[in-house]
């Protein structure tokens, strides 16, 4: 109906066509980052999503049962690959041990059911309630977080495919998950990866982000553990997701700001206590002191070039958190 009305209106208004009467010039330079502000959210996200993935590559080591995520600064010559994260898969014995913990966590389902259901899509409302994130004031922040999560999903799915670890329900029919099991592998946990990435990106973006650290990290751990309560993940899935989320957050912030990153790793076969004792996920364990046995942290940092497009998005998002005047 609108199209018909507009067609009739045009016929009554435009008169004889006179060609191009408005002045215009083709803009230069090409690929100017500021031009992102002129596009709709969808096209803007498409442009930047490709930028987050450019230069990433995966290397599979069949002998070590490990997969390494690397990055090549495509705008620097000579090209040099930097290692971001290297994950080594746990053995079958560890997943069998972990299954006992998954069964025990099921006792918490009745109390945590509503929260688990609310977090199935990532739990955006939970993050917003801590930092005061709103749609009317923080448009670019929300887009930036969407870009970060998109990056995390692509990377975690590539790792999941490579490792092909079975879900808890594949090991025992007694697990009976409280929500449908996703159609992809278990290790690493996607929810844990995305939660810890969101946690770190928000701390880096928001002024005085350290003031939010404790609550944000508690929320990330809670989202991760809830997936075990639901019967979808082993605790070791959350442990490696925490590492991967932190690594991807470092990389994402570096691509937005030009900071340096440390190589990180997770040694799955070492996710055991003394005498092969089963380990639960413990978010208090340091990921940077190399004392855990399974978390690995490189001593030297490598520089990653900032993407002008992502830097524009970061700057716009950061301005949204400046005090009102």
pLDDT at 325: 73
On whether the CB atoms of residues 223 and 189 are closer than 8 A, the answer is no
324 pLDDT higher than 90: no
212-244 pLDDT per residue, tens = 999 999 999 999 999 999 999 999 999 999 999
pLDDT at 120: 94
CA 261 → CA 31, 36, 83, 202, 250, distances in Å?
A: 27, 27, 9, 17, 6
pLDDT at 30: 96
Q: Report the pLDDT averaged over residues 134-152.
A: 97
pLDDT at 78: 74
Q: Measure the CA–CA gap between 143 and 248, rounded to whole angstroms.
A: 17
73 pLDDT higher than 90: no
Q: Measure the CA–CA gap between 142 and 99, rounded to whole angstroms.
A: 36
How confident is the prediction for the chain on average, in pLDDT?
A: 96
Question: Mutual orientation of helices 92-105 and 235-257 as an angle, nearest 10°?
Answer: 100
In 6-29, which positions are buried (b, 16+ CB within 10 angstroms) versus exposed (e)?
eeeeeeeeeeeeeeeeeeeeeeee
Q: Report the pLDDT averaged over residues 126-154.
A: 97
On whether the CB atoms of residues 281 and 225 are closer than 8 A, the answer is yes
128 pLDDT higher than 90: yes
- In CATH, the number for domain 55-319 is 1.20.144
pLDDT at 74: 73
The domain locations on the chain are 55-319
- DSSP H helices, the chain, are 2-13, 41-53, 92-105, 109-118, 124-131, 139-163, 168-171, 190-205, 213-229, 235-257, 308-319
46-69 pLDDT per residue, tens = 999 999 999 999 999 999 999 999
Q: Measure the CA–CA gap between 296 and 189, rounded to whole angstroms.
A: 18
Confidence grade of residue 79 (pLDDT, cut at 50, 70, 90): confident
pLDDT at 168: 98
């Amino acid at each position: 109906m609108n199209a018909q009305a507009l067609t009739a209106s045009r016929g009554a208004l435009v008169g004889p066509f006179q060609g191009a009467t408005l002045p215009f010039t083709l803009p230069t330079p090409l690929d100017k980052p500021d031009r992102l502000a002129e596009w709709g959210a969808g096209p803007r996200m498409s442009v930047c999503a490709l930028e987050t993935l450019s230069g990433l590559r995966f290397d599979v080591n069949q002998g070590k049962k490990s997969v390494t995520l690397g990055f090549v600064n495509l705008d620097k010559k000579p090209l040099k690959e930097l290692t971001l994260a290297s994950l080594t898969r746990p053995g079958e014995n560890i997943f069998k041990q972990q299954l006992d913990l998954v069964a025990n966590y099921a006792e918490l389902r009745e109390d945590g059911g509503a929260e688990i259901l609310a977090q199935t899509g990532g739990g955006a409302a939970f993050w917003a309630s801590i930092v005061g994130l709103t749609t009317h004031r923080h448009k670019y922040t929300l887009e930036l977080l969407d870009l970060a999560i998109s990056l995390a999903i692509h990377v975690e799915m590539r790792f999941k495919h490579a490792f092909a670890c079975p879900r808890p329900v594949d090991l025992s029919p007694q697990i009976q998950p409280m929500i449908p099991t996703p159609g992809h592998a278990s290790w690493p946990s996607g929810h844990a990866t995305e939660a810890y990435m969101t946690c770190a990106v928000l701390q880096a973006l928001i002024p005085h982000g350290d003031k939010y650290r404790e609550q944000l990290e508690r929320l990330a751990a809670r989202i991760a553990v809830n997936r075990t309560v639901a019967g979808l993940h082993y605790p070791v899935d959350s442990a490696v997701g925490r590492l991967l989320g932190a690594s991807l957050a470092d990389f994402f912030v570096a691509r937005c700001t030009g900071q340096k990153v440390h190589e990180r790793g997770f040694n799955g076969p070492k996710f055991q206590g003394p005498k092969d004792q089963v380990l639960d996920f413990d978010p208090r364990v340091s990921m940077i002191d190399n004392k855990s046995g399974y978390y690995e942290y490189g001593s030297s940092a490598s520089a990653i070039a900032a993407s002008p497009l992502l830097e524009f998005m970061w700057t716009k998002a950061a301005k949204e958190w400046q005090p009102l005047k």
